[in-house]
Amino acid sequence: MDSAQIPVIAAVVVWIIAKRFAGAPVGSKSFVIPAVMVIYGFSQMHGRLSAVDIGFLVVELVVALAAGLARGFSIRLYLRDGHLWQRYTLVTLGVWLAMIALRLGFAFGAAHLGATVSAGATVLVTFGLSMVIETLVVNKRAADTGHPILPQQSGRDRRTVRMR
């Protein structure tokens, strides 16, 4: 992964945050982008990982898990048009900002301690994992409410539904 890909990753994360602040239906498609990020990130970890690489990766994965849990529980669930929707709160944003700050600290520390794994790869894995965990928590919370979740529709079907 080269440095040109990092702005793309940042843009995807900002897009997801902005979209969720605007409100979005609760649904399983929330897994797609994060799962791709995790898989691609792990595929970019070439060669043998040093003890420093593994140590930082394990700590970052624990932080990603905690951040995903915290964001998942801080998201506001609400009914809209008879289905559950989700919206980020200021607490959710705070968790995102804390995770980003920790990630920058990990990158700085890893570089100074001789880690060889790509920083971009670990960004993909940790942010992707945290979003997968967030989605699992939100979907579980949504299921526990007993309210209906908007069925997954194709983009074409969604346009038709909105026009009615």
Mean pLDDT value across the chain = 83
pLDDT at residue 154 is higher than 70: no
Distance from C-alpha of 129 to C-alpha of 134, rounded to nearest angstrom: 9
pLDDT class of 153 with cuts at 50, 70, 90: low
pLDDT at residue 71 is higher than 90: yes
pLDDT at residue 63 is higher than 50: yes
Distance from C-alpha of 98 to C-alpha of 67, rounded to nearest angstrom: 9
DSSP conformation class of 113: T
pLDDT at residue 104 is higher than 60: yes
Tell me the per-residue pLDDT of 23-57, one tens digit each, with 9 for 90 and over. 988 976 677 888 888 888 888 887 778 888 888 88
